[in-house]
Structure 1
């Protein structure tokens, strides 16, 4: 079986999820061509798992100083080029087309009359999924950016019968509770983040971003983002400070790391993730990352959620390689029932606090 697997590469979480799927699919007699868009090829890193992958420009989102910037997003995207890339992408060699919120693959499939399976967090946003910070335009973008025929959503709770638990990209490492805190706020001003962290000299922080070079600034170790170093640092951390993307927080939940999360301003998906985390009692959220918010979180007593997600990547790889015989609803039911039947709390109303403590 030949598979084309399109991945939105703007955020590192999509690539992390794809890495887990690449490893799981290697156990089956399938040939996978990976296609990445949304980020310049030279800015992709730790891509060995994908072999000789394909790359297109696609479409992306632009953020500045912790906010989604609409005007810059429009200016930075080249719509005629995107339409040409979709038109020229030949899907005829492939038996199966998969899309992780990747618009070139999705549009090419529509134009060529091919069924496309969607696997990603964005496909979990049904009527019952928590929503926050959206507008009519953002709702339209969410549903129209990379539409698919068979959506398999990923979330922290079974909000619908097509929603699966998270796909995790976690290496086999000893998980300990060290003294350092991991900071990954890629959409924020990195110098401003460091300035805030240095106001707490009694705590040690390791700040990651693709914009940084390895250096020490007082109690802050600034590190250029890389897969292996980051996961090792995460495994031994006392907690994590991050934006409200889906994949990293999922990994923190699996490894029982306390989380302080700040959603990217004006980005509905991240605000909705923060709302879901508050309702589930899985993390602390703050609308701004500043010294008062950090001080409050550092002083709080953190009780992590008692959850253990199943191996969703292995289950999906089997499902795909065997011809997608079960319905998404059956697959969802199987994964949520095993091995965590009693560990999923019912969503609760939010308390409306500025920083919501982990329950």
Structure 2
């Protein structure tokens, strides 16, 4: 059996999941890999066979999704050409983690495909969503990858086809402690906005950012460029983490029993849905980066426990490769 594992390169979560899934797949079948998108800071731990610029969501300095930048800085004509040119005829199955090029190419060429992603969970009505639906957001989630067969990942098993998060081995191997400082990963906010707010809150902050290549410290706020080794070291020993309402980072924080506060990226419907699901678990969130909400969170005790077992190989063997 020959499989193409195609994953999205926008953000780090898809790459982190691929780091776990691809080596398992290679134990059982022949695998090629494909990535599209250009916003991830994580590097894959395997050879990527095909790379495309694809289509990525882009953000402004205030932490909001920028439709203007997304439209102007993506080459949609190139993406459309890629869809028509990709040859999928040699594959028995496409496993797709929210990757649009192979999603649409498989539809035009009738190649078997299964979507295995966090975003796939939004195809089930049981998945938590805000009371006020976002028409454009729903349109993107439902059509970015046109796939009927779906297995989703989410914070809870909202449906039989929704599984618990894939926690990467680098996180499972940590021995978490709490040393009083807090971590921050808000990649859609500027360093200036983050520092302006956090300097008002008298605890130690370790901020990881893609917006700076130098290590900076100003008062109680220390800023680091993205570095996975240092990130994991600080994550292991932090008191809590302030981050966007993505999926993988909040899931890893819950697994590590860290205090968690999320700020969904403005105009990013998927993150609004994630914040809604986390709210049901008792995780605080805010629509803006403001010192009052964060100060209250820092002063609040945290006692939320989750069970995220390592069952991804079982899912792949019993529910994906049997497709």
Match of 1:239 in 2: 240
- Report the alpha carbon displacement of residue 54 of structure 1 after superposing the two structures with TM: 1.7
Q: Is residue 54 of structure 1 aligned with residue 50 of structure 2?
A: yes
Residue correspondence of structure 1 range 152-301 to structure 2 within 5 A: 152-171=151-170, 172-200=173-201, 202-212=202-212, 213-281=214-282, 283-301=283-301
Would you say the 8 A contact 1:19–1:50 is kept in 2? Answer: yes
Alignment deviations for residues 98-141 of structure 1 (CA, whole Å, 9 cap, x no partner): 11010001011111111111111111112121112642222111
Match of 1:328 in 2: none
Q: CA RMSD in A?
A: 1.8
Q: 1:227 and 1:2 mapped to 2: Cα distance?
A: 32
Segments of structure 2 that go 5 or more residues without pairing to the other structure are: none
- Report the alpha carbon displacement of residue 245 of structure 1 after superposing the two structures with TM: 0.2
Alignment deviations for residues 47-101 of structure 1 (CA, whole Å, 9 cap, x no partner): 2x12143210111111112111122222222221111111111112222211101
Q: How does the TM-score come out when normalised to structure 2?
A: 0.92
Would you say the 8 A contact 1:170–1:251 is kept in 2? Answer: no
Call closer, same or farther: CA 1:204–1:119 in 2, change over 3 Å: same
Q: 2:11 and 2:85 mapped to 1: Cα distance?
A: 25
Q: 2:239 and 2:296 mapped to 1: Cα distance?
A: 16
Would you say the 8 A contact 1:182–1:241 is kept in 2? Answer: yes
Q: 2:312 and 2:280 mapped to 1: Cα distance?
A: 26
Q: Is residue 101 of structure 1 aligned with residue 102 of structure 2?
A: no
- Report the alpha carbon displacement of residue 320 of structure 1 after superposing the two structures with TM: 6.5
1:84 aligned to 81, 85, 88, which one?
81
- Report the alpha carbon displacement of residue 12 of structure 1 after superposing the two structures with TM: 0.9
Alignment deviations for residues 282-323 of structure 1 (CA, whole Å, 9 cap, x no partner): x111111111121111121222x22221113222333368x3
What SS class does the counterpart of residue 50 from structure 1 fall into?
coil
* Structure 1 residue ranges (4+ consecutive) displaced by more than 4 angstroms after TM superposition: none
Match of 2:116 in 1: 119
Count of residue pairs brought into register by the alignment:
317
What SS class does the counterpart of residue 235 from structure 1 fall into?
helix
Match of 1:344 in 2: none
Would you say the 8 A contact 1:46–1:227 is kept in 2? Answer: no
Segments of structure 1 that go 5 or more residues without pairing to the other structure are: 326-359
Q: 2:315 and 2:222 mapped to 1: Cα distance?
A: 38
Call closer, same or farther: CA 1:129–1:317 in 2, change over 3 Å: closer
Q: 1:169 and 1:154 mapped to 2: Cα distance?
A: 14
Would you say the 8 A contact 2:20–2:168 is kept in 1? Answer: yes
Q: 1:320 and 1:30 mapped to 2: Cα distance?
A: 14
- Report the alpha carbon displacement of residue 22 of structure 1 after superposing the two structures with TM: 2.4
Call closer, same or farther: CA 1:267–1:4 in 2, change over 3 Å: same
Q: 1:270 and 1:52 mapped to 2: Cα distance?
A: 28
Would you say the 8 A contact 1:168–1:313 is kept in 2? Answer: no
- Report the alpha carbon displacement of residue 32 of structure 1 after superposing the two structures with TM: 2.1
Q: How does the TM-score come out when normalised to structure 1?
A: 0.83
Would you say the 8 A contact 1:46–1:226 is kept in 2? Answer: no
